[in-house]
Structure 1
Amino acid sequence: MTDPSIEETLGPLRLAVMEQGDIVRQLKESGAPDSDVKKGVSELRARKKILEDKELELAPIGFELLDRNRLEDLLKRRFFYDQSFEIYGGIAGQFDFGPMGCDMEDNLLDAWRKFFILKEKMHKIKCAVVTPEPVLRASGHVDRFTDLMVKDVKTGECFRLDHLIKDELEKVKADKSATAQVKAECENILTRLDGMTKEEMTAVLRQFNMMSRNGNDVTDPVEFNLMFHTSIGPTGQIRGYLRPETAQGIFVNFSRLLEFNNGRLPFAAAQIGPAFRNEISPRSGLLRVREFTMAEIEHFCDPNDKSHPKFNSVKDLEILLYSACAQMEGKPSKLMKLGDAVTQKLIDNETLGYFIGRIYQFLIMVGVNGKKLRFRQHMSNEMAHYARDCWDAECLTSFGWVECVGCADRSAFDLTQHSKATGAKLKAERKLSEARIEEVVDVLPRKALIAKQFKAEVKIVLEEIEKVDSNIIESSIKQEGKFDLQVNDKSYSITSEMVEVRRQMKKVHVENFVPSVIEPSFGIGRILYVILEHNFGVREGDEKRTFLKLPPIVAPYKCCVLPLSNKPDFMPFVKQISQDLEDQEIPSEVNTSSGSVGRRYARTDELGVPFAVTVDFDTLKEPHSVTLRDRDSMLQVRLPVNEVAAVIKSLSCGKLSWSEVRAKYPAFIQQE
């Protein structure tokens, strides 16, 4: 039940959001100028931010935020990850993963492959990282993938404008000589900052006479493209970029994937790999970096049929949904069944709802706290113009709510854009219930003329002409007298004499259409960080003793083998257990370091190792047995040496629970 005193505080803030939401709707419905709509949206975001901050401040127990410094100390000390090139001063926004981080990321990706690619029978694909400029121009990244930046006029150092404004206004607020009016104005600007236009941010920059962090004047803001650009080949004439996402490689290979799938829809293709964004001034650790791993799925389906055969398997999941309407009206997120959300059209279609359900199940499985997980719907002003619906899986962290997975219905935008840019037939076919008569365009190559012009390359040219949409060839020849055929890095000019364009009426039994795309996109680094935060804890009664409660599925090691001491008689048993674990393909380590067994347990707990096997003096006796310790409860049982590996294997893959192990084997009590 909601605390009345909390709602008494939040009520006026919710009302303020709702009133501004109504104003934004009225502006849009009346066709108000874009500048007025943007101002209204900016004010709406500001009020939403105030409401959300107050909600977090008053949140019930269970949403408390951790001591981030202690977590970061553990991660650095045990080398999960650390800043790249640290001995050279480090590079902001780039991180090197140590042994623990590598294993944890590998386990997370392996779980992702099994959960999505294997169980959903998706097609794997691996595409090039270096991408030619025309591909990313067609997708919109060249023109729109930008942030505002200012430059120190003396040193040339660059700063992301919104970060600079935020830092400077925070200093003004902290200044004891600042008046209450100035502090209030700063707070108002900070809450509206995310929605500000270039002109509004420039005005703030000049109003407060902001300098660079070096104390020098800065230039006027400019738009900075976040992609890393490069040159392909020795001449430097072919411009390219390091890909900012993995999706475009899947889209440009659609025809091959459709052919591989025997021309049938729906189907999904998945790719895991690096992506790059040249952040101006990255911050927040793994949450905003320049080089990161993405796992993306492109599910291609008929835009007229977005049902999903497995939707019933997730329809009863209760998930915290933060709808666009709730955001506009200042209402809180709401726990809903996915089936109800799709039936009420809160979620646009079954396929989108199905993937939201699967994302939720995956995140819970790998260790995200369900109480700190919600799906937030994009409001109309932030949704891409081509998207029908979009939801972000957001996790509550010490940095606030962080987007970790995006799940969008991208409609047919990407395939359409690449088809327009290249002329390629990025379409599928559906059978008509009844044949119909319609006018079609046929392009018939005049092979002799093409052979005379292109000689040895005639076969390549003829094959590529077959792949191009006939309507595009006809339109280009009518307007320009030719059609330029792009094949790899070479262009072939097809003139009107080389082809015959015919329009005729035909009886057709199938129709072509551009498929829609449902895209779940996972930021692996962000998910990994959230898992670490959500599973970081302190032992009750011993605040100096921190540990990671990682689920076995992502834990770097599943088990640690500890001899009670370095007594030689223990070593044969240590080796036998270690070999048995290796034979079962269970990642483990042997800990023979100095110190008491309790202290060594604490060291393994810091690494998130779920189970520990201890070889002690009773192991030397017949029948040979060892203790098995559970990290979370710190309880132990005693079991035969030859059963250890099988039990840990079953515990690690979820086939056996710790309570079942305790019921089967005798308890062992020892003071740690």
Structure 2
Amino acid sequence: MASNTTKTGQPLDRAILDSLLRRRLFYTPSFEIYGGVSGLYDYGPPGCALQANIVDTWRKHFVLEEDMLEVDCTMLTPHDVLKTSGHVDKFADWMCKDPKTGEIFRADHLVEEVLESRLKGDKEARGQKVVVDEEKDNKRKKKVKETKVVKLEDATVKEYEEVLAKIDNYNGEELGQLIVKYNITNPVTGAELLPPVSFNLMFQTSIGPSSNLRGYLRPETAQGQFLTFQKLLEFNQQSMPFASASIGKSFRNEISPRAGLLRVREFLMAEIEHFVDPEGGKKHPRFHEVQDMELAFLSREIQLSGRTEVEKMTIGKAVSTGLVDNETLGYFLARIQLFLLRIGIDESKIRLRQHMMNEMAHYATDCWDAELFTSYGWIECVGCADRSAYDLSVHKDKTGAALFVRETRQEPLHIEEWQIDLDKKKFGPRFKKESKTVEAAVDALSQELREKLSLDLEKDGKVEIDVEGVSDGKVVLEKDLIKIEKRTRVENIREYVPNVIEPSFGIGRIFYSLIEHSYWSRPGDEARGVLSFPPVIAPTKVLLVPLSSHQSFKPIVDRIALRLRRVGVSNRVDDSSASIGKRYARNDELGTPLGITVDFQSVKDNTFTLRDRDSMKQVRASEDEIVAAIKSLAEGEETWNDVFKRLPEFLGQDVE
């Protein structure tokens, strides 16, 4: 079970970590000198570099390795597009209002917070050890008039735990029933709340000076990819399957943004739309590469039973048993985990949680979230949905655009079917202005009904069909107007609307979770924080530290700095008067994995020490060997242990 501890087993103090992140300018509240706006943040230099490196690794892991087609679509989206996709009507959360104060609460979060608080009070009443999130606890004490320590009945404890396990599965009416059943009120005033109502999360705007064209800031990058599908298919030489990818900002007008970077109103997304032929079970040609990977699954059935324990199994078994619907979905679940591990996420704090039916987006047939454990609990950071053919189908039907695949069949397909012929010369004069309506109704008749009508026609010499929009809602067609025969049709061309598997990454949530998973402090010195970013995503790869301000060191430091930058390795020079140990400690907080010390021996023989951030061990070698080792570490080709084994260890200088 995941726990709220650092990699060294120490309790994670979020207040100290947050202070470090703001002090070192990883991020800061936007518009802070004007009082700030909740849910909006700016990234500083190390935050920008860390985010850029995460995105660069994502591009290499997915776009490059999977040969995807990257696009960059506009953030402004016309109303009609999002009306067709269903977002205008369905992209919403449930909120409830205090009618006296006007305060707004997100209903599911309120239920969750109150029940968790009561369970905490029960544990305290029973004398059990309670793990306290101090920041969250302090906020709760400020908000709530009185925190009661109350022992609950065992049945009530079980009921609360079951509700919390299924919290994502409740609709608005059910959340309202829970609020009434458990007497959940405004935590501050104790006032009763109005029933939950739906709140659309999109930011609305107008396009152009006349304001006649309504639009929205996009809530996802997906729709732009669907609308360019036909052009991408043509670019890909009509070859299927293929995937598009997009990285960019999206916007959601969150009801009550909290939890720092984990719930914001403007955020960076990286989304993939993998277009696949629905025939053949959605197989994936590279599934064999990942089928033996073991993942931690939290299935829909386990959640509905009121439990949250995960089941570990290979992705191959998960697909073969039907837990995961198909190979393509399973392949991307495995690739998602490989990416998270590649950037430094703690494997013990990853689980794949299946969406419950009420929770799934309107377009999804199956969906799994890669959730990461943080001091805020389990947080959805990646969604992987089977969107079926929903998006392409609705946009095709709305616009008439050719959002489908047309391909020549390898073998002609012979289809036996009931076909209908109408005598157009008699048909038009008979039905006059209603003829098109009647003809459309005839064309829409199913094969089963056509077969039945053929028997009626043969027996009675006429048929009766239902037609909306004509008097009486029915018409009678005699033998001289209609002929129904069973014929064989040869089909050489196949047309189909592809299904879509969509992995969707919240880069900001991954960014923050990675920071928590990487943070720890030196034993015996809790104030000395370390961020153990892997070299491949660290904001700065190397710290250059001249032993002193001696004039002979500067040209050497400048030469090495320039040489490292030319091979794509970011570095900083710290030539301050602080001790070497303090200079390294300052950069441990920034996650800088490597350090080069330039000393008088360097001037003599052009050798240098290379320090590892986590172990604080050092090796010494020539400039060429050190630069080659750093480049290899920064590109993820070697680990520190590899370098430490092949270069001589240096013990002659204690830099701490």
Q: TM-score range by the shorter chain?
A: 0.7 to 0.9
The CA distance in 1 between the partners of 2:113 and 2:292, in whole Å, is 45
Whether 2:392 is the aligned partner of 1:411: answer no
- Matched-pair contact (CA < 8 Å) for 1:169–1:186: no
Instruction: Choose the corresponding residue for 2:509, options 513, 520, 526.
Output: 526
Matched, 1:105 2:51: yes
Structure 2 residue aligned with 1:68 = 14
Structure 2 counterpart of 1:653, from 627, 635, 642: 635
- Look up the SS of the partner of 1:668 in the other structure: coil
1:434 aligns with 2:417: no
The 2-side partners of 1:650 and 1:58 are apart by 33
Q: Tell me how far 1:166 sits from its aligned partner.
A: 5.3
In 2, Cα distance between equivalents of 1:61 and 1:563: 31
Aligned partner of 2:350: which letter? L
SS at match of 2:516: helix
Distance 1:656 1:284 in 2: 36
Query: Which residues of 2 match residues 534-553 of structure 1 at below 5 A?
Result: 534-553=517-536
Larger CA Rg, structure 1 vs 2? 2
- Shift in CA distance, 94/191, structure 1 to aligned 2, threshold 3 Å: farther
Matching residue of 1:486: none
Give the letter aligned to residue 615 of structure 2.
S
Residue 102 of structure 1 aligns to a residue whose secondary structure is helix
Q: 2:374 aligned with 1:397, yes or no?
A: yes
Aligned to 1:457: none
1:555 corresponds in structure 2 to 538
User: Where do 5+ consecutive residues of structure 1 fail to align?
Assistant: 1-54, 442-470, 482-503
TM norm structure 1: 0.77
For residue 655 of structure 1, give the secondary structure of its aligned residue in structure 2: coil
CA offset digits 1:145-185 (Å, max 9, x no partner):
11222445566553333445555677788646676469996
CA gap 1:170/1:324 in 2 versus in 1, 3 angstroms? closer
1:402 aligned counterpart, secondary structure: strand
Instruction: Note closer, same or farther for the CA distance 1:163–1:402 as it changes in structure 2 (3 Å cut).
Output: closer
AA matched with 1:92? S
Contact 1:65 1:397 in 2 (8 A): no
Is 2:220 the partner of 1:274?
A: no
Q: How does 1:389-538 map to 2 (within 5 A)?
A: 389-432=366-409, 433-436=411-414, 507-538=490-521
Give 2:330's aligned amino acid: G
Counterpart AA for 2:328: T
Structure 1 counterpart of 2:213: 238
CA contact (8 A) 1:85 1:91 kept: yes
Q: Secondary structure of the residue that 2:60 maps to in structure 1?
A: helix
Q: Pick closer, same or farther for the CA change 1:177–1:282 going to 2, 3 Å.
A: closer
The alpha-carbon distance between structure 1 residues 61 and 667, as it changes in their structure 2 partners (threshold 3 A), is: closer
Q: Distance in 2 between matches of 1:636 and 1:60?
A: 24
Q: Any idea what the Cα deviations from partners look like across 1:457-513, whole Å, max 9, x if unmatched?
A: xxxxxxxxxxxxxx99x99xx9999xxxxxxxxxxxxxxxxxxxxxx9974301211
Aligned position for 2:645 = 663
User: Structure 1 residues 595, 632: closer, same or farther in 2, change over 3 A?
Assistant: same
Does residue 1:626 correspond to 2:626, yes or no? Answer: no
Taking the aligned partners of 1:629 and 1:59, their CA distance within structure 2 comes to 26
- Please give the residue correspondences for 1:81-100 in structure 2 after superposition, counting only pairs within 5 Å: 81-100=27-46
Stretch deviating more after TM superposition (345-354 or 202-211): 202-211
Decide whether aligned partners of structure 1 residues 440 and 263 sit closer, same or farther in structure 2, where only a CA change above 3 A counts.
farther
Correspondence for 2:271: 296
Q: 1:224 to 1:186 in 2, by over 3 A?
A: farther
> Judging changes above 3 Å, is the alpha-carbon distance between structure 1 residues 243 and 440 closer, same or farther for their aligned structure 2 residues?
farther
CA distance in 1, matches of 2:401, 2:49: 41
Q: Give the Cα separation in 1 of the matches to 2:614 and 2:555.
A: 29
Where does residue 231 of structure 2 map in the other structure?
Answer: 256
1:41 corresponds in structure 2 to none
Cα distance in 1 between the residues matched to 2:595 and 2:469: 74
Read off the aligned partner of 1:99 and give its amino acid letter: P
Any gaps of 5 or more consecutive residues in structure 2?
122-145, 421-439, 445-466, 471-486
- Whether the aligned pair in 2 keeps the contact of 1:584 and 1:646 (CA below 8 Å) is no
Could you give the per-residue CA deviations for residues 95-118 of structure 1, whole angstroms, max 9, x where no partner exists? Answer: 100000000000110111111111
Closer, same or farther: CA 550–148 of 1 in aligned 2, 3 Å: same
Which stretch of structure 1 is more off in the superposition, 72-81 or 140-149?
A: 140-149
Q: Cα 1:429–1:214, aligned 2, differ >3 Å: closer, same or farther?
A: same
> What's 1:26 paired with?
none
Aligned mates of 1:120, 1:171 — CA distance in 2:
46
Shift of 1:243: 0.7
Distance change >3 Å, CA 612–CA 184, structure 1 → 2:
same
Q: Show the counterpart of 1:639.
A: 621
- How much does 1:217 deviate? 7.5
Does residue 586 of structure 2 align to residue 597 of structure 1?
no
8 A contact 1:378–1:389 mirrored in 2? yes
Q: Give the drift of 1:521.
A: 0.7
Tell me, yes or no, if structure 1 residue 351 matches structure 2 residue 328: yes
CA drift at 1:552: 0.8
TM-score (norm 2): 0.79
Secondary structure, aligned partner of 1:410:
strand
Per-residue deviation, residues 75-124 of structure 1 (Å, max 9, x unmatched): 11101011111111111111100000000000110111111111111111
Alignment correspondent of 2:172:
198
Greater relative contact order (CA < 8 Å, ≥ 6 in sequence): 2
Partner of 1:315: 291
Relative to structure 1, is the Cα distance of residues 186 and 665 closer, same or farther in structure 2, using a 3 angstrom cutoff?
closer
Instruction: Specify the SS of the correspondent of 2:219.
Output: coil
Residues 393 and 212 of structure 1, relative CA distance in 2, 3 Å threshold: closer
Trace 1:211-250 onto structure 2 (pairs within 5 A).
211=186, 213=188, 220-250=195-225
CA contact (8 A) 2:170 2:359 kept: no
Identify the range of structure 1 (192-201 vs 303-312) with the bigger mean alpha-carbon deviation. 192-201
Number of the residue aligned with 1:130 = 76
Name the residue aligned to 1:499. Answer: none
Q: In 2, are the aligned partners of 1:148 and 1:223 still within 8 Å (CA)? A: yes
The 5 A counterparts of 1:41-60 are none
> CA–CA distance in 1 between the matches of 2:322 and 2:406?
27
Query: Secondary structure of 1:426's partner?
Result: coil
Structure having the higher helix fraction is 1
CA contact (8 A) 2:111 2:184 kept: no
1:596-649: per-residue Cα shift (whole Å, max 9, x none)? 10011111111111100011122222x121111011110011112343322211
Q: Deviations over 1:393-441 (max 9, x none)?
A: 1111111111111112111111111122222221112433224367999
Query: Which range moved further: 315-324 or 192-201?
Result: 192-201
* 1:318 CA displacement: 1.8
